[in-house]
Structure 1
Amino acid sequence: MRPIIKTSLLALSVVFASNLFAQTPQEKGLEIAIESDKRNQGWQDSTADMTMTLRNKQGEESIRSLRVKSLEVEDDGDKSMTIFDEPKDVRGTALLTFSHKTEADDQWLFLPALKRVKRIASRNKSGPFMGSEFAFEDLSSQEVEKYTYNYLNDEACGDLECFVVERTPTDKYSGYTKQIAWIDQTEYRVIKIEFYDRKKSLLKTLDFKGYQQYLGQYWRPEMMLMQNHQTGKSTDLTWSNYAFQTGLADGDFTKNSLKRAK
């Protein structure tokens, strides 16, 4: 009987050890977020063209043309500038965003009709950006430190297998109580995000489509589709002409450069 007892004790010790060192859902959620962030480091700077399609509840559309410049910042969040080219009534409007890891993001909006730069207050960042279904806070870089995490489960997402992770914003002024993100298990790309409002009701869903790889490492979507479930409105962002390591610097991302954005 001794070999059986010995084997049983060994099995119990293995189970105990595995339970002792098992990750909590919070630890696994954070680990997934860190890995996703790590795979998107080192791109330095980028430019891209964007078409924004706004669609109301009746399906009527209005289309805007934009350009986006981004700068990777070491030890902090990224910087970006979004510039409207068309239609004529919004041409020259530009948004400058300084994302931060732990502090509130800084954002400024240049309105050419008023010829002035307006600072976006932290408590207003949950508001819609230029009539779209994207909030100002959606346009900041999604730094790991902006959320706490909770791994929920694995789930198929199309042809891929995804981690499903709940993330809770740390910013008290966020318009969301939580977000649920689907992240593919191979490349750690975000495939879908559900946004829940301050009443904890599902507000919006953002789908990422047509990922392409650049510089042999960095994945970017061709389309981002934001659906507002409460209003029936939607906004599609179609991306093109991605370019990386173009030589952009801090001087291209200042409040004065907003006024020169053409």
Structure 2
Amino acid sequence: MRKGDSNILLWTILIVGLVFMGSVSITVAADDPEARAIMQRVDARDDGDNQTADMQMVLIDRSGGERLRKLATFTKDKGPNTLRLMFFLQPADVKDTAFLTIDYDDPAHDDDQWLYLPALKKTKRIATTDKSGSFMGSDLNYSDLTDRELEDWDYHFYEKGREQTFDGVKTWAIWATPRSKKVVKETGYEKELLFVRQDNDFIVRSIHWVENSADLKYMLVDRLERIEGIWVATQLRVTRKKGKQTVHKTILTLDRVRFNQNLDKAMFSVRKMEKGL
């Protein structure tokens, strides 16, 4: 069964936001074996298999205007790799848009992503160089929707205190710094500050320094639930700020999360994306 933390970020997905405001400077430090061991536990955490869920995506602009999108999501392990598929159901202007990701366990193999646009009747393969781009107008980029390769990052503890407590829950505060400019280009982030719950190895907060920008992206798990023994972020808030000014916000909510469903691996294909649900 595939282990990982990517569902934090998408349909549970990945990753996730914070309380610090403004810019934080750090001194680049060597990889810390203790911090890396924590991130290895995060990566190895059981995220379930054969998952289905309903997703609601709310896009909020700087004036408070909202746009609501509804999706159906599916996740399946195929050997050591993970397959993820989502279909947009509402509103009409994005209905039948589909997105497919194949997350390869082999760090030498770039993950594959495709986006089907029904209005153009065209499927677009997301190039590695385009993965830092916004996903469907949200505050998530394409790289947020795949697992992170531990080998691409150095990890060390936050120098102002490796332990941080939020709402009575203890976390480890860990810097993640890319090991190459290639990783920066692919992810769109110059560095990240991650907050890992000590009791279940789940990233519940994070800050991301956006490449070539004064913007910071804050990700925060507003609701974390244990479903069929699996920890799932059922509500995730992603806020993009310039200084103290909110530029945009995305709220993701998962409902009817189910594991061990009867999902055929043949479903996770470009053909199925184009055919629809």
TM-score by length of 2: 0.80
Give the aligned partner of residue 211 of structure 2: 198
Match for residue 68 of structure 2?
63
Alignment of 1:1-262 (within 5 A): 26-40=32-46, 43-76=48-81, 78-101=82-105, 102=107, 103-152=109-158, 153-169=162-178, 171=183, 172-199=185-212, 201=214, 203-216=216-229, 218-230=230-242, 232-262=247-277
Q: What per-residue deviation string (whole Å, max 9, x for no partner) do you get for residues 64-96 of structure 1?
A: 0011111124334x2211210000110000110
Report Cα offsets for 1:110-160 as digits up to 9, x if no partner.
Answer: 011111211111111111111111111111134544533223211112210
Counterpart CA distance in 2 for 1:169 and 1:94 is: 30
- Give secondary structure in 1 for the equivalent of 2:70: strand
Cα distance in 2 between the residues matched to 1:132 and 1:221: 18
Please state how far the C-alpha of 1:108 moved relative to its aligned partner: 0.5
The 2-side partners of 1:223 and 1:247 are apart by: 25
Identity of aligned residues (%): 28
Alpha-carbon distance in structure 2 between the residues aligned to 1:151 and 1:204: 20
- 2-structure distance, mates of 1:242, 1:145: 31
Give structure 1 regions of 4+ aligned residues with deviation exceeding 4 angstroms. none
Structure 1 spans left out of the alignment, 5+ residues: 1-23
3-state SS of the aligned residue for 1:88?
coil
Counterpart of 1:197 in structure 2: which amino acid? V
CA contact (8 A) 2:143 2:186 kept: no
In the superposition, relative to structure 1, how do residues 200 and 35 fare at CA in structure 2: closer, same or farther (>3 Å)?
A: farther
Whole-Å separation in 2 of the counterparts to 1:196 and 1:35 = 24
Contact 2:78 / 2:265 at 8 angstroms: preserved in 1? no
Greater shift in the superposed pair: 138-147 or 218-227: 138-147
CA distance in 1, matches of 2:56, 2:93: 16
Secondary structure of 1:29 counterpart: helix
Question: Is contact 2:51-2:259 (8 Å) kept?
Answer: yes
TM-score (norm 1): 0.84
Larger radius of gyration: 1
Higher relative contact order (Cα pairs below 8 Å, separated by 6+ residues): 2
